[in-house]
Structure 1
Amino acid sequence: MKNDLKHRTKIFAHNVVKLASILPDNYLSNHIKKQLIRCSTSVAANYRATCIAQSKRSFISKISIVIEEIDESHFWLEFIIDEKLLPSSNCKSLLNEADELTRIFISSRKTANLNLNN
């Protein structure tokens, strides 16, 4: 599971970078490109750090960062659609993946919290 999620988060980051590269060249799009690339690649990088956490508390802290970054990625993808910078069809699969990853990471954090308190 761990390696599957490492792979999924990395693919997510690559696909977001590809999407960002087709955004129009204007002030708003350029801002979104930077934000979206930063947070989506952060999901992958921080998930890798989560996998080598040295304690349950460290894992919970690191997975919380991953959750924040995937949620921010979702926000910027929605914002692209809201601002009509790209057709929603371009963002749909990435939004779905962000939703799935968010649910997985939140579930992992809940499980870790339960195990920490037992």
Structure 2
Amino acid sequence: MRILMVALAVTLLAGCAGSAMNDARTGTPYKTLTSNKPEKVVAQCVQFSWQDEAVFGVDASAYLQPGKKGGSTVYTRSAEAFVDVTTDASGTQLNYYAQKDDFVAKRRLAALATCL
């Protein structure tokens, strides 16, 4: 029963976050970065770094799901920040989106940069 509740909560979060992410993707990413590391390794690293409670406090949430157009997407609660991680000819590309240009967005970008 507990597993079912968790699965339902994640599904609901993904649904709510999905529309915010689709809206953000129509614009320019907050920052675009590249890496020579494999896409899966980078995505898992970003998820792990965004879950660091010492850095992000009680809002240290990060979820990993398959990307809309391949690759992976790592996102926070309500998609306040998310990154699309995809593989292209030059390596792994990261498109980072943030709803606000604030301290938390910059801190998430810094944590993401440690995974490059």
Indicate whether the TM-score tops 0.5: no
Larger radius of gyration between Structure 1 and Structure 2: 1
Higher strand fraction (1 or 2): 2
TM-score, normalised by the number of residues in structure 1: 0.31
